[in-house]
Structure 1
Amino acid sequence: MNATSGGSEAVRWSEAVASWDQEAAWSRTLALTTSEDMVGGLFLRGTLKAVRALGDESLVARSTAACGQTNFLEFFNYPASVLLRLLAEAVPSLAQRHGDVAHALWLLGNCVGRDFLDSESGRAMCQLLRREAKRLMNHLPAAYQLSLTGTRAVQWLGPQHCRFVMTHDVLPAAFHEGLLVALLEHMDTRRIHVEGVQTGPLAREFDISWR
């Protein structure tokens, strides 16, 4: 993955994940969250659906027990710690099923993105955007804000090429890669390219282009 834009602290996700100590990584991220960091119920429901689709009911039961929630209300916000504990339980098992941690995270994000597109909110967004990828990217910072605490911005590098910058974001880059691909595939696009770079403990940058 391209790490040229992140400066000396940038880490290629594929390199970072190869030696990723999952338990320590989730714990570090959890320690960096505050009581103000929240996740939307629709996003959590989509994540739990993804765990079910990629895993099984036993994994769903273990994941909900780990996060302390068995059901999520669509329009209610939950502490980010709930999402992190859910993923910390689910990802190791999914990594065994699907090859490695990065691929499991990518698949989770992709499932969450497709689930959002099938929701009432997702359908309304797509109608508003008229399947235009550039409109999607310009709308994404606001759309993300409804689901996840953090700051996001788009930096345009060309008509069909941008950098998507996230700060104070609790999810690994591979999760967002899968989610962004799902959204872009629903637009009028082809030859989609999404590569994430970790630029800090809670900071990521994504190089995104399409044709």
Structure 2
Amino acid sequence: MADAPGSAVSLPFGSDEELHHRISLTGHGDVARGIFLNSLLDMLRQYGDEELLRQCLEVSGEQRFLEFFNYPMSTFLRMAYPAAWRMGHLYGGFEGAFREMGYQASKAFYASSAGKVLLLLARNEPLRLLNNMPTTTNAVLGDNTGITQMKRTGKTSGVLTYMRDLVPRPYNEGALKSSLEAVGAKDVRVVSHPLAEYDTDYEVSWT
């Protein structure tokens, strides 16, 4: 399956070629916070594959990650793809593994001091949390990527627009589901609608 149907570069999503293409687009401003890399390492530790954990740390060139320090997005991608290839059988495939990575990363973020502040500001109101996301994503994702728009479509639904997001879409689907659950939303549903190769509308709804 291609990550962006109809894109100029049509490569099978999850292939080694697609990974290298995604990495080739990353620049200085494309970053991932250490908390998300640590969350991935925690998943690998729970999985119990010491060799895979060692390989991911070797790829990163780090022994540990500071939670709110910026690391290259390319480092995250080089760690996450092999992890998804190896753990996919636990989560229904490669996409499912990325969805779980995003879910767990979001849980880790909202358990942090910065995440707890955002939860307080949201006051257990999902729409309030979503409305705040366009102004907070740059602090988490770097200057080159972000949510440019949150459009409310109902009392319990909305659409978030991500522009130039090099993180695989299933990861964001899992992260948004976990984010909404953090403020008490139930039966959360997240559906991605590609706009361009790395631009996406995420349709979210809940009860």
TM-score bin, normalised by smaller chain: 0.7 to 0.9
Q: Write out aligned runs for 1:79-158 (5 A).
A: 79-149=72-142, 150-152=145-147, 153-158=149-154
Q: Mind listing any 5+ residue stretches in structure 1 that lack a counterpart?
A: 1-9
Change in 2 beyond 3 A, CA 1:110/1:21: closer
Match of 1:201 among 163, 177, 197: 197
**Distance in 2 separating the partners of 1:108 and 1:55:** 16
8 Å contact from structure 1 (residues 110, 178) kept in 2:
yes
1:15-48 Cα offsets, whole Å, 9 max, x none, are: x99x534211111111111122122222222232
Letter in 2 for 1:30: I
Q: How does 1:35-54 map to 2 (within 5 A)?
A: 35-54=28-47
- Cα deviation, residue 178, structure 1: 0.7
Q: Aligned in 2, Cα 1:142/1:20: closer, same or farther, shift over 3 Å?
A: same
Contact 1:51-1:108 within 8 A present in 2 as well: no
Please give the root-mean-square deviation of Cα atoms over the aligned residues, in Å: 2.3
Shift of 1:170: 1.1
- Identity rate, percent: 26
Tell me what 1:163 maps to. 159
Structure 2's unaligned 5+ residue stretches are none
Which residue identity does 2:100 align to in structure 1? L
Query: How far is the alpha carbon of 1:196 from its aligned partner?
Result: 1.2
- One-letter amino acid matched to 1:85: R
Distance 2:194 2:62 in 1: 29
Name which of 175, 178, 190 aligns with 2:174. 178
CA contact (8 A) 1:22 1:92 kept: no
Count of aligned pairs: 199
Q: Which has the higher contact order (CA 8 A, sep 6+)?
A: 1
